[in-house]
Structure 1
Amino acid sequence: MNKICSIGIFILLGILWRSSFVATEAGLPYFPPLLFAALRYYVAGIAILVYVFLTVDYCWPRSSRDWIVIGIAGAFLIGDNLAFLYIGQRFFSGVIAAVGICLGPILTTVFATALLDDFNNFLGYSWTHTWPC
């Protein structure tokens, strides 16, 4: 894939991803928040499944461990995140929701660095001593 195509796909991803907050704000007056989140993920899940069935040989989980990982990730990474987002977006605008979601990885890094460094110092080990620079 050439550089221009990669940049175009990245820009398209950003537009589609961030337009979901506008769509959420537009749809919340007509649907309860959790139903609306569920409908959104049903549509996305069907689209992803169609893509997977057309492009990949390994489509289904092969072990009970795979199912457990899928269930935990679905419940905690997707389910509660979207439930709280849609419930909160009834009271705040889509712009504030988008900024809050986008700050998630940044704040996670900041808090994890601070908390894990303190925890590791408590254990007698510091991550800062492992880096060569």
Structure 2
Amino acid sequence: MTRYRNAALFVFLAAVWGSAFMAIKVGLDYFPPVLFAAIRYDVAGVLMLAYAIYVTDRWLPRTRGEWNLVLVGGALMIAGYHAFLFVGEKETTSAVAAIIVSSSPVLTTGFARVLLPSERLEPSGIAGLLLGLVGVAVLSQPNPNNLLSDDFVGKILVLLAALSFAFGSVLSRRIDAELPIETMEAWSMLLGALMMHAISIARPSESFAAVEWTPKALVALAYLSLAASAIGFLIYFDLLERLGPIEINLVSYVAPVFAAVAGLLFLDETITPLTALGFLIIFIGFCLLKRRAISRELPRLTGVLSSGR
């Protein structure tokens, strides 16, 4: 184990998850959006289930609470999140999509304030939540003249994806169930994929006949299924145990940097000053929301990163 193992894995995870937005954009040229997301999690779910069988002795949910946990994860954190994201990203850039998704930790805190009464927001936390919403507004640039434009609708759909993920993550904390995270993720992926297939069938514009099985399409699908989903989540689980939830949330704010670079290099997407400003506002909002936890955990994080433990 090298001295900087955790730091290297953190950067690698941010790079993989950030560049995944570029891979989605590429794949959308060849796949109907919801079907694309469904096939991605067909593959990733099977791989994650195989991993859960290998590393845990609880690869199958047993109780009603455990299945409820899987249902919330599959419906909101997999199907809802990815259906909205893939449809929305057809009309916006990969960098903007990544930045809007990075507001999920901020939105999660907002939902927690409502659904988890034990979690109270201080004035700085309220300011952070509002700043996060302001950052999304800066990115969306709403005005009466563009409310029906494809670009604006795409950004709203990506925001709905972030809201679905944030709501699911908070709702899952209300469910009294102890299930290995690998098992929960595996069955959530498979159930979410099944739900997205049903959504795809219900959309007149989507069918397997519309898929173009080109080399680029296969590379995009493989990258999302293997690198971003299967390998990415394994690294996430490892870092979650080593660093904790506060630090691992910071991946959401490093990933858009890689999304912007990948979009620039492979898709010729440009970054506007408003895009950068929106990202900065959302990140400041997150820091205000988590300022106590960040200040408390920063010394430990520095020690973990430097020691490699």
Shorter-chain TM-score tier: 0.7 to 0.9
* Letter of the 2:47 counterpart: A
Match of 2:22 in 1: 22
1:5 shift after superposition:
1.2
Distance 1:39 1:93 in 2: 22
Structure 1 pair 2/88, CA: closer, same or farther in 2 (3 Å)? Answer: same
RMSD: 2.4
Runs of 4+ residues over 6 Å off in structure 1:
none
Q: Does 1:60 align with 2:60?
A: yes
1:96-118 CA-to-partner distances (Å, cap 9, x unmatched) read 11011012212443x458x75xx
1:64 shift after superposition:
2.4
Structure 1 pair 36/127, CA: closer, same or farther in 2 (3 Å)? Answer: closer
Match of 1:89 in 2: 89
Distance 1:61 1:39 in 2: 23
Point out the more displaced range, 87-96 or 64-73: 64-73
Q: Does 1:37 align with 2:37?
A: yes
1:65 shift after superposition:
2.3
Q: Which has the higher contact order (CA 8 A, sep 6+)?
A: 2
Tell me the matched-pair count.
119
Match of 2:251 in 1: none
* Letter of the 1:48 counterpart: M
Distance 1:106 1:3 in 2: 32
Q: Provide TM-score, normalisation by structure 1.
A: 0.77
1:80-109 CA-to-partner distances (Å, cap 9, x unmatched) read 111111110111011111011012212443
Which sections of structure 1, spanning at least 5 residues, go unmatched?
121-125, 129-133
Distance 1:88 1:103 in 2: 16
